[in-house]
Amino acid sequence: MTTVTVNDRGKEMAIKVYDLCGADDRRFSPFCWRIRMALAHKGLDAEFEATHFTEKDKIAFADSKTVPVIVDGETAMNESWDIADYLEKTYPEKPSLFGGDAGRAVTGFINAWTNSTLHPALIKCVLADIYDRLDPMDLDYFRESREKRFGKTIEEMRDGQAAALEKCDQALTPLRTILKSEDWIAGDAPAFADYLIFAAFQWCRIMSPAEIVKADDPIYEWRERMLDLYDGLGRSFEAAR
Ligand SMILES: N[C@@H](CCC(=O)N[C@@H](CS)C(=O)NCC(=O)O)C(=O)O
């Protein structure tokens, strides 16, 4: 985590979020969606600044190479988990993201599962579709960095989409199992545990027409409930076609 002190924004101003942006202003970062949902949950005003992959200069002031970066009064910070922790500690009078210490620990497990299992399974399904929906200014950077990361070309990833979708379906088993009996991952009401996973589905929904889950899947029904939260916040961002 990087936290720096900045001096030019008063605490009374809306929280500013540097938010990843693709072509046609698509806001698709799963890490940024976690924070968008967390801010809505806490009822905090926020403004979102479109930031492209190659606009690292915009977030250099926070000593960060990744988004989200938030600026709240004098505090600027990155890392989605640390931002959630910061919001929880700074705004304790607002609805809780974790539901106490035990809830925070379990949510930490969901965070780790999302990062280590869900994201790697999903990215193999949607990487080529993401490439197709990036702003032209980011195409070379994305191709070079992702081909290096995955050891495959974008075109090879595209050819592997059907197999990746099948594998992803297996990775979703624990999520599907819990959602057969629970409406929300966090218990009686949605909280950060739900946002971590929903954010990954928004990443796919906004950048890829691939059908990750079918309409009769409990995950699909949960995602529909998530899309309806906060006056349809998630749904107000157009799905890829
Ligand atoms: N651990 C970070 C990861 C953030 C992250 O990787 N964000 C992506 C956007 S989804 C990013 O900024 N990538 C920059 C790049 O690939 O150059 C967090 O939880 O905030």
Are 221 and 150 members of one domain? yes
CA of 65 to the centre of ligand 1 (A): 8
List the CATH number of the domain containing 158. Answer: 1.20.1050.10
Phi/psi-derived region of residue 135, left when phi > 0, alpha when psi is between -120 and 50, beta in every other case: beta
Residue 241 lies in a domain: no
* Last-in-domain residue among 67, 90, 113: 90
Question: SS in 3 state form for 120-184?
Answer: HHHHHHHHHHHHHCCCHHHHHHHHHHHHHHHCCCHHHHHHCHHHHHHHHHHHCHHHHHHHHHCCE
Residue type, 198: F
Task: Give the pairing of strands 3-5 and 46-51.
Answer: unpaired
In the predicted model, what is the mean pLDDT of the chain?
96
Are 117 and 73 members of one domain? no
Residue 203: per-residue pLDDT: 98
Q: Tokens at residue 126, please?
A: 């949607």
Are 226 and 115 members of one domain? yes
CA of 180 to the centre of ligand 1 (A): 31
Residue 239 lies in a domain: no
CA of 68 to the centre of ligand 1 (A): 7
Residue 3: per-residue pLDDT: 74
Residue 238 lies in a domain: no
Are 79 and 157 members of one domain? no
List the CATH number of the domain containing 11. Answer: 3.40.30.10
Compute the distance between CA of residue 222 and CA of residue 188 in angstroms, rounded to an integer.
Answer: 13
Substitution site in 48, 57, 67, 150 for ligand 1 pocket (most atoms within 8 Å of beta carbon): 67
CA of 53 to the centre of ligand 1 (A): 9
Are 208 and 104 members of one domain? yes
pLDDT in tens, 79-129: 999 999 999 999 999 999 999 999 999 999 999 999 999 999 999 999 999
Provide the edge-to-edge strand list for the sheet that holds 3-5: 3-5, 75-78, 69-72, 15-20, 46-51
Q: Is the CB of 29 under 6 A from ligand 1?
A: yes
Contact 43, 204 (CB under 8 A): no
Q: Is the CB of 80 under 6 A from ligand 1?
A: yes
Q: Tokens at residue 33, please?
A: 């969606």
What is the SS3 assignment for 49? strand
Residue 237 lies in a domain: no
Substitution site in 1, 2, 31, 149 for ligand 1 pocket (most atoms within 8 Å of beta carbon): 31
* Last-in-domain residue among 45, 60, 90: 90
Are 120 and 225 members of one domain? yes
**Which residues have a Cβ under 8 Å from the Cβ of 195 and sit 6 or more positions away?**
33, 34, 37, 38, 41, 97
Are 183 and 131 members of one domain? yes
Residue 6: per-residue pLDDT: 66
Compute the distance between CA of residue 204 and CA of residue 201 in angstroms, rounded to an integer.
Answer: 5
From first to last of its 241 residues, the chain has per-residue pLDDT tens of: 777 766 554 556 899 999 999 999 999 999 999 999 999 999 999 999 999 999 999 999 999 999 999 999 999 999 999 999 999 999 999 999 999 999 999 999 999 999 999 999 999 999 999 999 999 999 999 999 999 999 999 999 999 999 999 999 999 999 999 999 999 999 999 999 999 999 999 999 999 999 999 999 999 999 999 999 999 999 999 999 9
The number of residues in the chain equals 241
Counted domains in the chain: 2
Residue 129 CA from chain centroid, whole number: 17
Compute the distance between CA of residue 125 and CA of residue 39 in angstroms, rounded to an integer.
Answer: 28
Domain around 36: 3-90
| Count of beta carbons in the 10 Å neighbourhood of residue 154 | 18
Are 147 and 215 members of one domain? yes
Are 141 and 227 members of one domain? yes
Contact 61, 4 (CB under 8 A): yes
Residue 95 lies in a domain: no
Compute the distance between CA of residue 228 and CA of residue 232 in angstroms, rounded to an integer.
Answer: 4
* Last-in-domain residue among 63, 90, 117: 90
